[in-house]
Amino acid sequence: MFLATNVKVNPDPTSLPGGGQIQQILDGLGGWALFAALGGLLISVIIWSLGSFGGNYHAVSRGKTGVLVCGAAALVAGGAAPIINFCSNLGSQIH
């Protein structure tokens, strides 16, 4: 039976070919996510204001929900790298 007693993993995106291109793709996806959150936020604010102006409380509720969802999406998209780094650092401390 084989027992691996000293297994180590050192994540390094430059170790494999295409690491730079993958980084560019991820940067672009992060930008698109923030653009989508901004677009959704603007649409939600418009729905909220038109619903409020017209007395449509369902539209007001949906607009408010959209504002909160888009804000949370922007928070997660903008903080994706620090969140992943935090979890990775936490995982590397397990012995």
Average pLDDT by stretches of 10, the chain with 95 residues: 72 85 94 98 98 96 98 96 93 83
Q: What pLDDT is stored for residue 87 in this prediction?
A: 93
Token pair for 9: 């993993």
Q: CA–CA distance from 38 to each of 51, 68, 75, 85, 95 (Å)?
A: 20, 12, 11, 25, 42
Q: What pLDDT is stored for residue 4 in this prediction?
A: 61
Q: Which long-range contacts (CB under 8 A, 24 or more apart) does 86-93 make?
A: 88/11
Q: What pLDDT is stored for residue 16 in this prediction?
A: 85
Q: CA–CA distance from 42 to each of 24, 50, 78 (Å)?
A: 27, 12, 18
Q: What pLDDT is stored for residue 10 in this prediction?
A: 82
Q: What pLDDT is stored for residue 46 in this prediction?
A: 97
Helices then strands, each counted (H, E), the chain: 3, 0
Q: What pLDDT is stored for residue 95 in this prediction?
A: 74
Q: What pLDDT is stored for residue 9 in this prediction?
A: 80
